[in-house]
């Protein structure tokens, strides 16, 4: 039996209501995301930021990396709440044939937010704790993988080793020795007495009537290069810093007597 127009209108109205309601249900997940999901995204953002550091000058110690690259205290998590980061373990060394590894635990807390303007998005409160293993090869950003989080507390952050460097006084000390001491052997002896540390290298040479001295700290790419001309005048020749890198000339008199470039 055919339906009366009045009944047909009722059915059509119900169908329209269902069609209109369906998109709204789908949009709820888009405009009202769960806070836990946002917190996890924030943890991933923080891990990516830590891993974006790369070593392109010197072999950093892994303790340096923890101190300088792993945030200490609360940090922003890329717009997805506030993060705290724990360094859980660290080992290895960035080098030509080695990698450094740091395990981190990242906890992100997201507060609930109600949209107040058009285009703004509401979301619920949430939190997430995610752990990552970051492995740094030389010259590249870290390779990142998610790992299980331990229930134990994080160990104390490491104390980075002190990195020695030369000062203006050290340069003046080399100048003074070269200006007041004659004879290559005597100059070298005086330099060793002035710089007795094991990490300091000393190189001397006689070249075309000139006395050349190079005092360096190889691990830190530090170098004092001084030339005493036959007239007694002291010169501080320039050189390319890349020559101090591993595999290059290093801090040696060759920087002046046989420059690589």
pLDDT (0 to 100) of residue 163: 83
Residues 6+ apart with CB under 8 A from 42: 77, 78, 79, 80, 81, 83, 108, 110, 128
Q: Are residues 185 and 143 in the same domain?
A: no
What's the predicted TM-score (pTM) here?
0.61
Q: Are residues 83 and 175 in the same domain?
A: no
- Domain enclosing residue 180, as ranges: 168-257
What digits encode the pLDDT tens for the residues 32-78? 468 788 889 999 999 999 999 987 666 688 999 999 999 998 888 77
Q: Are residues 135 and 187 in the same domain?
A: no
Q: Are residues 86 and 140 in the same domain?
A: yes
Q: Is residue 156 part of a domain?
A: no
CA distance 115 to 123: 8
**Quick one: pLDDT band at residue 25, thresholds 50, 70, 90?**
very low
Q: Is residue 122 part of a domain?
A: yes
CA distance 39 to 36: 5
Q: Are residues 120 and 203 in the same domain?
A: no
């Amino acid at each position: 039996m055919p339906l009366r127009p009045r009944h047909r209108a009722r059915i059509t109205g119900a169908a329209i209501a269902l069609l209109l309601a369906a998109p709204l249900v789908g949009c709820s997940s888009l405009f009202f995301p769960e806070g836990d999901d946002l917190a996890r995204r924030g943890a991933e953002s923080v891990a990516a930021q830590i891993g974006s550091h790369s070593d392109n000058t010197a072999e950093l110690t892994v303790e340096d990396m923890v101190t300088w690259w792993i945030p200490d205290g609360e940090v922003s998590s890329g717009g997805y709440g506030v993060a705290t980061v724990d360094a859980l373990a660290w080992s290895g060394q960035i080098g030509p044939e080695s990698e450094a590894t740091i395990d981190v635990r990242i906890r992100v807390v997201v507060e609930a937010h109600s949209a107040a303007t058009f285009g703004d998005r509401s979301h619920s409160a949430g939190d997430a704790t995610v752990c990552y293993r970051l492995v740094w090869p030389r010259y590249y950003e870290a390779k990142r993988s998610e790992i299980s989080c331990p229930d134990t507390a994080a160990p104390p952050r490491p104390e980075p080793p002190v990195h020695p460097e030369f000062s203006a006084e050290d340069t003046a000390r080399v100048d003074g020795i070269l200006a007041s001491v004659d004879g290559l052997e005597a100059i070298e002896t005086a330099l060793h007495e002035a710089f007795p540390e094991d990490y300091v290298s000393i190189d001397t040479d006689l070249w075309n009537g000139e006395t050349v001295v190079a005092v360096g700290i190889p691990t830190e790419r530090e170098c004092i290069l001084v030339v005493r001309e036959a007239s007694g005048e002291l010169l501080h020749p320039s050189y390319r810093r890349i020559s101090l890198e591993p595999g290059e000339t290093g801090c040696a008199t060759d920087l002046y007597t046989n420059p690589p470039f």
